């Protein structure tokens, strides 16, 4: 057997095949409106978007604890202040990494059920400009663009940053692709990771992102 048939299976299908037999998980439609998801109890903790992109909810304390080892993987994108991480599934190793992190996410979700933790919160794609095309009338709640942020300060800040990202995507639609805008905002947002005072972080992120994305005028 030459294995060529396996090459036709996209990475997210491979993930579905590996996780479908796990008793703690249930396969369902992603509540952001784009792709499939795996729920643990009532919480969706894995979203699979397209053929090669996954979002995994680890909780922010766990992301903070795992920041260094996660940062060693080029396929992992950490969003400061949030419990979701993005994993690009470019090869078998990326799929294996996601599957191993899912087991960690399940334990974190089960351990936190009896605590007064904030809810899982929306998958980041649920707030994106791209998701708007798939969800012309997004439902209210954690998967929709109209979600009202909770009283948790981390979730409030994340909500504002997503609004900033969506606003800049529309502002620079003629010169930059949505993913370029998102990457610029994420990179600038990371610069403020260690700032103890957070009140003006979204304002500064938007200002610096606008400056970065605005083409320089010719001399």
Whole-number pLDDT of residue 174: 85
Q: Are residues 182 and 87 in the same domain?
A: no
Residue 131 is inside which H or E element, if any? helix 129-134
Whichever domain contains 22, its CATH number is 3.90.1150
Instruction: With respect to residue 124, please indicate whether it lies within any of the assigned structural domains.
Output: no
Using an 8 Å Cβ cutoff, are 169 and 144 in contact? no
Do 9 and 92 fall into the same domain?
yes
Counting the structural domains of the chain, the total is 2
**pLDDT at residue 132 in the model:** 41
Q: Which two tokens stand for residue 161?
A: 């940053």
Signed CA dihedral, 25, 29, 33, 37: sign only? positive
Do 110 and 7 share a structural domain?
A: yes
The pLDDT mean for the chain works out to 77
Q: What is the domain extent for residue 33?
A: 1-118
Nearest to 43 by CA among 62, 63, 61, 57: 57
Q: Please tell me whether residues 154 and 102 are part of one structural domain.
A: no
- Which residues does the chain have with pLDDT short of 70? 1-8, 80-81, 112-122, 124-155, 216-219
Span 56-93, pLDDT tens digits:
998 888 888 888 898 888 888 887 667 888 898 988 99
* Cα 35 from Cα 97, distance rounded (Å): 20
Condensed to tens digits (0 to 9), the pLDDT of residues 131-155 reads 344 333 333 333 333 334 444 566 6
Q: Is 123 contained in some domain?
A: no
Specify the pTM: 0.57
114 and 70 within one domain = yes
pLDDT of residue 23: 93
């Amino acid at each position: 057997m030459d294995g060529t048939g396996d090459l036709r299976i996209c990475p997210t299908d491979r993930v579905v095949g590996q996780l479908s037999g796990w008793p703690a998980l249930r396969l369902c439609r992603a509540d952001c409106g784009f792709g499939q998801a795996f729920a643990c109890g009532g919480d969706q903790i894995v979203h699979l978007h397209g053929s090669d992109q996954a979002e995994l909810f680890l909780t922010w304390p766990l992301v903070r604890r795992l920041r260094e080892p996660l940062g060693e993987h080029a396929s992992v994108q950490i969003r400061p202040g949030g419990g979701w991480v993005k994993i690009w599934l470019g090869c078998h190793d990326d799929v294996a990494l996601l599957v191993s992190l899912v087991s960690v996410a399940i334990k974190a979700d089960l351990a936190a059920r009896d605590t007064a933790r904030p809810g899982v919160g929306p998958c980041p794609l649920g707030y994106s400009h791209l998701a708007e095309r798939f969800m012309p009338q997004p439902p209210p709640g954690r998967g929709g663009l109209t979600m009202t942020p909770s009283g948790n300060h981390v979730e409030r800040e994340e909500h504002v940053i997503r609004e900033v990202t969506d606003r800049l995507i529309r502002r620079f639609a003629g010169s930059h692709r949505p993913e370029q805008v998102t990457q610029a905002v994420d990179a600038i947002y990371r610069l403020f990771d260690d700032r103890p005072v957070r009140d003006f972080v979204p304002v500064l992120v938007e200002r610096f992102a606008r400056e970065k994305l605005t083409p320089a005028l010719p001399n």
